[in-house]
Structure formats: C-alpha cells, structure tokens
Amino acid sequence: MTLILTLDQVNYAPQGKTILSDIDLEINENAFITFTGPSGSGKSTLLRLIATLLTPTSGVIKYQGQPQAMLPKPHYRQEVSYCFQQPSLFGETVRDNLAFPFSIRNHPWSQKRAEQALASVELSEAMIDAPITSLSGGEKQRVALIRNLLFPPKVLLLDEVTTGLDSDTKDCVHRLIASYHQQGMTILMVTHDETEIAAAEALLEIRGGRLEAKHE
C-alpha cells in the first residue's frame, strides 16, 4: 500500500484560538475514511486544511510524499477535491457551475458529459439551464458534488454531502461514491449520518480538535 496523504503534527490555531491540535494521520491510496464527531469539533477545518483552503499553523501535510507548500495549488486542488458542506453554487445557472471545471482546464464543454453527471445523481437534464436560485438545498448539494466529479480527482473530500437528502437519493449518492472508490479514488468523508457511520470501512472521531479512533 502506498501512502497518498500524511499529516504530521498538524495544528490549526488562527489568532491564537486552537481549532485542531496535533493531528497525525496516514492515508493509503484508495482508502475510504469516515470522520465523525460533535458539531464544531473541527471536521470541516481538517478537510479544508487537506484541500489547502486553509494553511496549518504548524505541522506538515504531504501529498504523495511532497509537502503541500511545494505543490502548485490550483493543480493540487484539482487532484484533492473538496466538496463543501452547504455549497452556494456560483454564477447564474447550473450550466455555469458545470462548465467551470471544463473552462479552468481549457477543456471543450461537453453537454453530454454534464447531462450524464446530472443523471448520475438523479437530477433531470433539463436542470442544466435552471437558475441556481431555483434549486433546493439537496439539489444544490448534488450539483456541487458532480462539479467535483466531472474530472475525477485522486482524493475526494466530502463534507456532509448527504445531509438533507431523502433516503433514496442518499443511496444513489452512496452508489456513485462507491463506484468511484472501486475505480481507485481515495475518499475522506465527514458525516453525522448513522447509516454512513455504521457502514464505514474505517471510522475516526474528532473531538475538541483532536483525532481519536472511534470506540463503540
């Protein structure tokens, strides 16, 4: 097994307020790790640090053996892709959001791929021209998810992406994630969902900014 991500004594304390302390973590390629823990314990913060959307106050995060600081950020973020808890979407329509991953890669827009992606999370193809303000919370969450998956990343960071979905849609999202995992994607998932916690391959708990193995 090769390591894809390592966190070594990572601390995050902006303006002296400690949010995460002494996080040590080794993540193998193709792992599926589930994080849980009380609200405000630092789960989103951990994923954002891994995604380079925040920078550790001290400690090092390595990706494929290289410290994050050495890697060009835009490219790294395309490979280690963070999906927001409660995304807002940007631009005017769903199309703006789905076209963005294409345009930042100078890749020609593919309507077909976008429609397939929408279908994979049980959204209708017609939604592509819907204004983002007309979407429900759960619809936004799914559009945000496929935005991260149009160009599959190496590591997918999922921040409570199934919150607010009904159980059928949840199942569909789980199947989608599982199929990418089978194709080799490394997945880090934050959740409060009981069924997701029960189904976890590897479960870690964050409490008060510290990482603990979960004991039932």
81 binds, among Mg ion, another protein, ligand ATP, none (CB under 5 to 8 A by kind): another protein
- Tell me: does residue 44 bind Mg ion (CB under 5 A): yes
Please write down the long-range contacts of 70-78, taking CB distance under 8 Å and 24 or more positions apart.
74/104, 76/52, 77/51, 77/52, 77/53, 78/104, 78/105, 78/151, 78/153
| Sheet of strand 3-12: strand arrangement | 20-28, 3-12, 58-63, 66-67
Q: How far apart are CA 177 and CA 187, in angstroms?
A: 8
User: Could you give phi then psi for residue 207, rounded to 5 degrees?
Assistant: -130, 125
Question: Which DSSP state fits 152?
Answer: -
Q: Which of 112, 108, 171, 161 is nearest to 138 (CA)?
A: 161
63 binds, among another protein, ligand ATP, Mg ion, none (CB under 5 to 8 A by kind): none
Nearer to another protein, 79 or 122 (CB): 79
41 binds, among another protein, Mg ion, ligand ATP, none (CB under 5 to 8 A by kind): ligand ATP
Q: How far is the CB of 44 from ligand ATP (least distance, A)?
A: 3
Residue from the set 4, 5, 32, 45 that interacts with ligand ATP by CB under 6 A: 45
Site for ligand ATP in 75-104 (CB under 6 A): 85
**Length of the chain as a residue count:** 216
Task: Please count the other Cβ atoms lying within 10 Å of the Cβ belonging to residue 26.
Answer: 13
Q: Structure tokens of 176?
A: 């989608």
Nearer to another protein, 33 or 144 (CB): 144
Q: How far is the CB of 77 from Mg ion (least distance, A)?
A: 19
147 binds, among another protein, Mg ion, ligand ATP, none (CB under 5 to 8 A by kind): another protein
- Tell me: does residue 191 bind ligand ATP (CB under 6 A): no
Q: Structure tokens of 167?
A: 């159980």
Interface residue list for another protein (CB under 8 A): 51-55, 73-79, 81-84, 87-91, 100-101, 103-104, 144, 147-148
Residue from the set 7, 23, 33, 43 that interacts with ligand ATP by CB under 6 A: 43
Site for Mg ion, rule CB under 5 A:
44, 85
